[in-house]
Amino acid sequence: MSKLYDLTLRIQRTNSEDGKPRYQTYQLQAGPIMRFVDLLRMINDDQDPSLTWNSSCEHGQCGTCSMRINGRPMLACELLVENGVEMFNTTTFTLEPLQVATVVRDLVVDSDEAYERVNRVKPYIIDPLPPGKDGEEHQINPDQLELYVDATRCINCFCCASACISSHRTFLGPNAMLATIVRVLDSREQEKKERLKTIYSDQGVYRCHTSKACSHVCPKEIDVAHFIALAKKGFALE
Amino acid sequence: MKIDIDSTLRCDVLIIGAGGAALRCAAEIFEKRPDTSIISITKVTHPQKSHTSTAQGGLAAVDPKDPLDATIYHMFDTWKGSDCTADQNVVKTICESAWEQILWLENRGMHFSRNRDGRLSKRTFGGHTRNFGESSIYRAVFEADRTGKGIMDTSWGETLKKGIRFLNQTIGIELLIENKQCHGVIALKQKEGAFIKILSKATVIATGGSGQVYRVTTNCRQNTGDGLALVLQSGLPVMDPEAVQFHPTGIVGPGILASETLRSVGGILRNRDLEPFMIEYAPKMKELAPRDLVARAIESEIRGGRGIVNPDHDIAHVWIDLTHLPDEVHEKQIPEVSSFFKRYVNLDTKTDLCPVRPSNHYHMGGIPTNAWGEVEDKNREIIGGLYGAGECAAASFHGFNRLGTNSILELITMGSLVGNKVVDYLKTMPSAHHDLIPQSYQPRFHNYLNSSGKESIGTLRSRLRTVMTEQVSVFRTEDSISKAIDTIEDINDRALHTSITSSHLAMNQELVQRWELENLLLVAKSICYAARYRKESRGAHFRDDFSVRLDEFNHHSLVGIDDNGDCHLSRREIDMSLFEAGGEHSEKFDFIERSY
C-alpha cells in the first residue's frame, strides 16, 4: 500500500494572453490510490498554483473534470494512479483539454460554447402530456422506461463528443443526441415531430460514422452508440 | 489590473446559485409571471455541475394515495429528528406541500423509478416512520441512485425553456444593501475576469453548502460557504452554524457516502486490530445503532489510536468488513457502493476490508429566513428583496439534525415558496432599479491581488480544514473549539501574506481560491463561536463536556461578525405553532426526547 510512483505529467497550458498552447512538465511522487484530481491539486499546492483546471463533485456525477489523458477523454476524478499506470503502461502522462470548445485556460474549455449544442436540442419536455387525473403522476411502465433509462444517466461531461470522429462543428454530438432521443421515447413528450427533425437534420445522427468511440469512452458506461443506432433505424419501436 | 466595475446588468430577479433550490425558484417565477427577467449566476461551469446532482437516495413525501402514511407522521419524524429545534411552521408547510412538489417534477419529465403498475416506487429511510415512530414506512420516491441529478436536469431544462439567463463561472462578492433593502450584487465573471454590477428588484441566495470547511467531507469541491460569507460580510447573522451533520461512513479519499445499507446488510465495523468494536458502544444494536452514535464510536476508536492510516490520504479510518457476506449480497444489494470502493480506492468488497470514517455531510444551519424564505437580521426584521433557499439557508426545517431524503425535499419546496413570494413582491416594486455604490469588494480584491508573501493559499486551506475536522467535528469540547479558534485567527493573519502568481484577471483560479479561503474562514469562525457558546449536546452538535440536551438552549443561535472580526451571539426562538395549536397529537410536538 505504501508504494510510491514517480510520475511525469506533461500538461498542455494555454494562457488567455496569447492563446497559444504549450506543454509544461511536472515531476511528482504519488501513492497508488491517489486520483488525477489529487495530482493536480498537489501541483497547485506544491509547485505551481497557476496551473488551471476544474472539478466539482469529484466522484463521477457532474462531469466537470473531464480532460484527455494520454489522448483518451476521461474524468480525472475517476482515474487512480495505479490504474493509469496499468492502463497506459507508463508513468508519463500527457494531460490536455477536451476538444469540444475553445480553451479558456490550460485544462479548462469554454463549457458554455460546448453546452450550446445541447441547448439546441431542447433538453426538456417541449409539449408535456397532461397528467391523467388531477393530482396523480403519469403511469410509465417500467419496461418502457427500461428502453431509455440508460440514456438519462448522461452527465454531459462531453467525453463522447471529444472522442467522436465527427467534428463538433458539423455534428451536435453524441450527448446532445442522447438528450433528444430520451424525449422521443418518453411518453410524456408530445412534440415528437420537432425532435425527429433535429435528429435527422444535417447536424444530426447521420453525421455519426459509427466508430462507437462514444460508447467506448463514456465514464457512465452508457452505450451511446446503441441509442444513435436506434435513431438511425427510425426508432424501430414505432 | 482593472477591478473597477466593467458593466452593469439589470434584471427583475437575480439568483446567486444555480442548483436545485435556485432553479426550482426560477421555474416557479416563470410559471406565475412569464415575462420576468431572471439572471442566475453560479460558480460552477454549468448548473448540472451543482452539488444537488450528487444526491443519491430519495425525496421524502407522503403520497395522499397511501392509506398507511399521513403528513402528520412526516412532520413528527422531522421534528423529532431535528432534536426539537426545527421551526414547526416550516415543518408543516414543507411536509404538507411535499407531494405537490413530486408531481411538479414528474409532470415535467423527471425519470422517477417506477413499480410494476407504472406508479412511483418508494423506499424506506432511517427516521421515517408511521404512527409516531411505531414502524418504518415507505415514504421516499427516487430516481435509482441519482435522485438529485433528476431534480437538477428537470429544473435546469424548465428554466432554459422559459428563457433564464445563466452567467456560469460567476461569483457573487458583495451584496448591495442600503436601509435594509437589497438592490443586487457585485459579481466577478471568471472567464472574462470582469467585475460587474447586477441590479435586481429581488435577490435570492441559493449557493449551497459549506462542507469544504472540513477536510473530510462528502461535499463537492465548490461548497465553500460562499452565501454565508456574503451575508456575514454584509453585517447580517447566520443561524445555527454549529449544526453540522457528519455521516458515520464516508469513503476515505474521494469523500463519497457509503450508505447505511452496508451496515443493514450485515457489514461489521472493525478497528486496526480487526476487533468488531460496535459491541462496546451499543451492545444490542451494534452496527445498526443511529448515525450519530455510530459516528462517535468510530471517532472514539480513531482517537484511541485504533484507527488505520493509508499513507496516500493520511487520514485515519476504520474498516467496514463485508467479506463474509455471500456474493449475491454484494451484487444485488450493494452494487453501487461496491462499485465506489472499486473505482475510487481499488478494493473489492468481496475480498477486501474497506476504509470508512465519519465525514462532514450537511449543514443544517445557514442564512436565517422566515417560513417564506425572506432573509432576516438578528432582530427578525426582514431585509427587503433578499431571499435564501436550499442548504445555504435555514428557515429552519432540519433544526439540529436532518433526516435522510429531507434535504432535496426542502430545497425544491423552499425554492418554489420563495418563487411565489418573489412574484408577490415584484407587484409592489417600482419599475426603476436603485443604483448603489459598492463598499467593500474593491479593497478586499485589491489586497488579494497585491499582497506579497510566501504563504500558500492551498496550505492555509488545508490547515483550516484539518483543524476543523480534528477539533470541531463529531466531538467538541471547550478546549478543542478554543484551539480551533486560535488556529483560525493565525490563518487569518497569515492569509494577509499570500500572493497570486498572475495579475491577469481572466480565469484566475488563484484569485477565486483566495476569495474562497476568506469565506471558509468566516464560516469556520461562526461554527466555532456558536459551538463554544452552546454548552449542551443537541442533534449533530455533540459536546463531550456537556453531553445532554438542556432546556435552557431550546432556541436557535444567531452569530454575526463585525468589521473588527469579533463574533456576536444572539438567539432566535423556535416556532412551536404545531404544539401551541393544541388538539389531537399536539403533545407530540413538545420538547420530546430524541430516542430511537
pLDDT tens profile B69-108? 999 999 999 999 999 999 999 999 999 999 999 999 999 9
Interchain CB distance below 8 Å, A123 and B46: no
Q: Does B105 share its domain with B229?
A: yes
Residue in A111, A124, A128 nearest the CB of B45: A111
- Considering only residues 215 to 234 of chain A, which have any Cβ-Cβ distance to chain B shorter than 8 Å? none
Q: Give pLDDT, residue B1.
A: 56
Residues in B closer than 8 angstroms to A102, CB to CB, are none
Q: B367: alpha, beta or left, given left = phi > 0 and alpha = psi -120 to 50?
A: beta
pLDDT in tens, A23-51: 999 999 999 999 999 999 999 999 999 99
Complete DSSP assignment for A70-100:
TTEEEETTT-BHHHHHHHHTSSEEEEE--TT
B114/A contact by beta carbon, under 8 A: yes
B102/A contact by beta carbon, under 8 A: yes
Pick the catalytic residue from B24, B139, B270, B291: B291
What sign results for the dihedral spanned by CA atoms B469, B473, B476, B482? positive
Interchain CB distance below 8 Å, B510 and A49: yes
- Boundary residue ending a domain (B383, B403, B427): B427
Residue A135, pLDDT > 90, answer: no
- Burial degree of B132 (CB within 10 A; 0-12, 13-18, 19+): middle
pLDDT in tens, B293-327: 899 999 999 999 999 998 888 999 999 999 999 99
CA distance A158 to A110: 12
Interchain CB distance below 8 Å, A31 and B462: no
How far is the alpha carbon of A123 from chain B, nearest alpha carbon, in Å?
A: 6
Nearest C-alpha neighbor of A58 from the set B346, B246, B217: B217
Interchain CB distance below 8 Å, A135 and B255: no
Contact between B473 and B247 under an 8 Å Cβ cutoff? The reply is: no
Residue A97, beta-bridge partner list: none
Q: What is the CATH number of the domain that holds B458?
A: 1.20.58.100
Contact between B139 and B74 under an 8 Å Cβ cutoff? The reply is: yes
CA distance A60 to B340: 10
CA distance B315 to A33: 13
CA distance B199 to B14: 8
Cell of B466: 484539518
Specify the number of domains making up chain B: 3
- Side by side, the strands of the sheet bearing B59-60 are B59-60, B135-141, B122-130
Q: Does B421 share its domain with B465?
A: no
Q: What are phi and psi of B384, to 5 degrees?
A: -60, 135
A181/B contact by beta carbon, under 8 A: no
Residues B271-282, mean pLDDT to the nearest whole number: 95
Helix (H) or strand (E) segment spanning residue B374: strand B374-376
Cell of B213: 470547511
- Burial degree of B117 (CB within 10 A; 0-12, 13-18, 19+): exposed
pLDDT in tens, B139-192: 999 998 899 999 999 999 999 999 999 999 999 999 999 999 999 999 999 999
| Residue B591 maps to a domain | no
How far is the alpha carbon of A236 from chain B, nearest alpha carbon, in Å?
A: 22
| Residue B409 maps to a domain | yes
First-to-final CA distance of chain B: 59
Q: Does B194 share its domain with B233?
A: yes
Q: Does B339 share its domain with B370?
A: no
| Domain limits, chain A | 5-108, 110-232
Question: Would you place residue B334 in the very low, low, confident or very high pLDDT band (cuts 50, 70, 90)?
Answer: confident
- Boundary residue ending a domain (B427, B453, B478): B427
Residue B258, pLDDT > 60, answer: yes
- Residue B83 three-state SS: coil
B111/A contact by beta carbon, under 8 A: yes
Q: Does B327 share its domain with B423?
A: no
Interchain CB distance below 8 Å, A1 and B312: yes
Q: Give pLDDT, residue B288.
A: 83
Residue A238, pLDDT > 70, answer: no
Q: What is the CATH number of the domain that holds B417?
A: 3.50.50.60
How far is the alpha carbon of B476 from chain A, nearest alpha carbon, in Å?
A: 28
Residue B541, pLDDT > 60, answer: yes
Residues B551-559, mean pLDDT to the nearest whole number: 98
Q: Please report, rounded to a whole number, the percentage of residues in chain A having pLDDT higher than 70.
A: 97
Nearest C-alpha neighbor of B361 from the set B292, B311, B293, B459: B292
Q: Does B202 share its domain with B223?
A: yes
CA distance A61 to B87: 33
CA distance B476 to B527: 11
Q: Does B169 share its domain with B201?
A: yes
pLDDT in tens, B392-438: 999 999 999 999 899 999 999 999 999 999 999 999 988 789 999 99
Nearest-5° angle of CA B575, CA B579, CA B583? 150
The alpha helices in chain A, defined as continuous H runs, are 36-46, 81-88, 111-120, 142-146, 159-163, 174-185, 192-199, 213-217, 224-232
Interchain CB distance below 8 Å, B160 and A119: yes
Say which CATH topology domain A5-108 has.
Ubiquitin-like (UB roll) (3.10.20)
B109/A contact by beta carbon, under 8 A: yes
Contact between B394 and B364 under an 8 Å Cβ cutoff? The reply is: yes
Q: Does B394 share its domain with B348?
A: no
Number of C-alpha atoms within 13 angstroms, CB side, residue A69? 28
CA distance A132 to A130: 6
Residue B111, pLDDT > 80, answer: yes
Q: Give B330's DSSP letter.
A: I
Q: Does B447 share its domain with B525?
A: yes
Residues in B closer than 8 angstroms to A82, CB to CB, are 346
How far is the alpha carbon of A114 from chain B, nearest alpha carbon, in Å?
A: 11
* Alpha-carbon separation of residue B408 from B26, B137, B246, B427 (angstroms): 16, 18, 17, 29
- Considering only residues 72 to 91 of chain A, which have any Cβ-Cβ distance to chain B shorter than 8 Å? 77-78, 80, 82-83
How far is the alpha carbon of A58 from chain B, nearest alpha carbon, in Å?
A: 7
B161/A contact by beta carbon, under 8 A: yes
Q: Give pLDDT, residue B430.
A: 80
Residues in B closer than 8 angstroms to A55, CB to CB, are 221
Interchain CB distance below 8 Å, B120 and A122: no
Q: Give pLDDT, residue B290.
A: 79
A110-232 sits in which CATH class?
Answer: mainly alpha
More confidently predicted of B593 and A150: A150
A44/B contact by beta carbon, under 8 A: yes
Give the residue numbers spanning the domain of B520. Answer: 441-550
How far is the alpha carbon of A9 from chain B, nearest alpha carbon, in Å?
A: 18
| Residue B401 maps to a domain | yes
| Residue B542 maps to a domain | yes
Q: Does B343 share its domain with B258?
A: yes
Which ipTM was obtained for this model? 0.96
Helix (H) or strand (E) segment spanning residue B358: strand B354-363
Residues in B closer than 8 angstroms to A126, CB to CB, are 161
Residues in B closer than 8 angstroms to A17, CB to CB, are 504
Q: Give pLDDT, residue B200.
A: 98
Interchain CB distance below 8 Å, A128 and B107: yes
- Residue B576 three-state SS: coil
CA distance A122 to B402: 36
Could you confirm whether B303 is annotated as catalytic? no
Helix (H) or strand (E) segment spanning residue B14: strand B5-16
Contact between B509 and B171 under an 8 Å Cβ cutoff? The reply is: no
Contact between A159 and A74 under an 8 Å Cβ cutoff? The reply is: yes
* Alpha-carbon separation of residue B410 from B40, B89, B164, B403, B404 (angstroms): 20, 13, 23, 11, 11
Q: Is the peptide bond before B396 cis (omega within 30 degrees of 0)?
A: yes
- Boundary residue ending a domain (B405, B427, B449): B427
Residue in A16, A59, A64 nearest the CB of B45: A64
Nearest C-alpha neighbor of A57 from the set A32, A76, A70, A71: A76
Residue A132, pLDDT > 80, answer: no
